[in-house]
Structure formats: structure tokens, C-alpha cells
Amino acid sequence: MKDPGSSPEPAAGVLYLVGTPIGHRGDLSPRAQQVLAGVDRIACEDTRHSGLLLHGFGIDARLLSFHKHNQQRRIPELLEALAAGESLALVSDAGLPGISDPGEELVAAARAAGHGVVCVPGPCAATTALVSSGLPSGRFCFEGFLPLKGKERQQRLQLLANEPRTSLLYEAPHRLLQLLRDLAEHCGSERPVQVAREITKRHEQQVGATIAQALAHFEQHKPQGEFTVVLGGAPAAEPQPWDAPALRQELMALQASGLSASEAARTLAQSSGHPRRQLYGLLHGEMESD
């Protein structure tokens, strides 16, 4: 495998993942411009969209489309190009490729084939919203877009309700109110939240500080633009008294909602304050009389 760091950029046979602006054109770094101007080809979600961005920087590049509907077909083609010594860049419509955007499978395939992969970092809506939210950023979870409906959505909401770390969610404007209502139902309307709207753009805004307050705001002001929701973690639970039958019933209800035994034990551990292993044991007939 080549050592990409030792060559001038862009180097032959290397795949560059290049972060692009999420709003502010000034966020395309000089290094990103240099790599994009120098690679043999740029794979992008939408050639028209990326073509316009690059044109604005005087970059005249060979573009090819790479999106969720054609990536299976494109990956072997791009691996062949890397093997032939081409330098390639991957960009998405905005932000970092691979973050709720295509990229992950191509990177895995390129690494498996022994090609160099280098990220030229750039903006990412999730981390940008997190660090400006004022909510704890020491440990956090990226959730991206929740499943639209059904059991999968309920499961994820249930896990979020008990997640002690700050969580980051993406949402489309026409679904923001529903997301906030679902979060209020599962996490309680007083859970801290910051809704980051139009980050890095002219009308950038943060709306919080609780789910109830954000809901009240967006019920008055129709959500427009792009949104990242930063959800505060669940407060640490006060340990409840150990009541084996009641706890087993709660575990079984969590399993009935679709969680595995270990997920159910982890979820209940967070809300009850009891150790996860002890709860897991309860599901298998241990600790009855403790």
C-alpha cells in the first residue's frame, strides 16, 4: 500500500475525500481547491451542482456521477481507475462525503484493495451544530436521519430517550415539527435541545433551549431551510428499588418494541440506574429474589 502522506498532492492512485461547503462558499479550503483542481477525475453526487461550485473557483475538472443509485456499478470502475494510477476525488453535494451521503462503501472497497485514501476535511453540519450548541460535546452520538416511520423509528426514539450522550440528528424542513413532537413524546418536552438552522448561511439561527420551546417557535415560524437537531442527553437516573417482577416486565416490553435482550438491558439500565449485567441476568432467570 502506498503512503499517501509522503507524496505531493494529489498523488497517483489515491482516493481523496474532500469536504465541501454546507452553505458558505468561503469554507472550501485552499487545500481542497488544490486537490480538486489536480485530480484526474472527481466523483460527485450531482455533476451539475458540483460543476457550478467548481466553476466558481475556476476549476475545470472531469466529473462523473456517484450516488446511491449507481454506486454499486461505479465502485469497480473507480477501483480500476485507482489501480491504473489515476488520482480521484469524491465529493458530495455538501459537507463530508460518507456522513449521511455516499462514500462509506467506496472507501471500504478502496482500502480493501490496498489503495491510499486521504480525507481533505471540511465542514460537517453535525459537528458544526454540536460545537455551537452549548450542549455537552465531550461524548456524543451521530444519528443522522431517523427511519421515517414504523417500528424502526420507534426503536430509535426509544434508544434516544435513554441515551445519556448528546445526540445529533438531521431532518428535512417538512418533517421537523413531527420530529420535535416525537422527541417530546419520548424524551419529555423539557429535554434540552438546540435546533441549528441554515448553518454558515445568511439566516443561520439556533433555536432552543428545550424541545417545548423549539416546538413553540417552529409552530409559529414555518420551518424553512436546512436543519440539524442537537439533543441533550438523558439525565442520570436515580437508582430505583430492585423490583424483579416489575423490572422483568419493563424488559419484556422493551423487547416487544423490537429491542434485543442486550439493548433492552442497556436501555433499562440507563433509565432505572441498575447495572446492565444484572438486568440482563434477570431476563435469563437470575437475581429473582435479590
Pick the closer one to ligand SAM by CB: 171 or 250. Answer: 171
Phi, psi of 248 (to 5 degrees): -65, -40
Residue 1: CB minimum distance to ligand SAM, A: 27
Q: Which residue number, 168 or 259, has a Cβ lying nearer to ligand SAM?
A: 168
With binding defined as CB under 6 A, does residue 228 bind ligand SAM?
A: yes
Q: Indicate the residue whose CB is closest to ligand SAM.
A: 95
User: Is residue 52 a contact partner of residue 155, using CB atoms and an 8 Å limit?
Assistant: no
28 contributes a contact to ligand SAM by CB under 6 A: no
Cell numbers that stand for 174 in this block? 417538512
Q: How many Cβ atoms from other residues are within 10 Å of residue 202's Cβ?
A: 7
The answer to whether 143 contacts ligand SAM (rule: CB under 6 A) is: no
96 binds ligand SAM (CB under 6 A): yes
**Candidate list 28, 82, 99, 184; residue touching ligand SAM; CB under 6 A:** 99
Subset of residues 195 to 224 that bind ligand SAM, contact rule: CB under 6 A: 196, 198-201
Using the rule CB under 6 A, is 126 a contact of ligand SAM?
A: yes
How many helices, marked H, and strands, marked E, lie in the chain?
11, 10
SS3 state at 207: strand
Q: Is 95 among the residues that bind ligand SAM (CB under 6 A)?
A: yes
Q: What are phi and psi of 230, to 5 degrees?
A: -110, 110
Q: How many CB atoms sit inside 10 A of residue 30's CB?
A: 7
As a whole number of angstroms, the distance between CA 88 and CA 93 comes to: 17
Strands 166-171, 227-231: pairing is antiparallel
Choice from 101, 163, 182, 250 touching ligand SAM (CB under 6 A) = 101
| Interface positions with ligand SAM (CB under 6 A) | 22-23, 92, 94-96, 99-101, 124-126, 170-172, 196, 198-201, 226-228
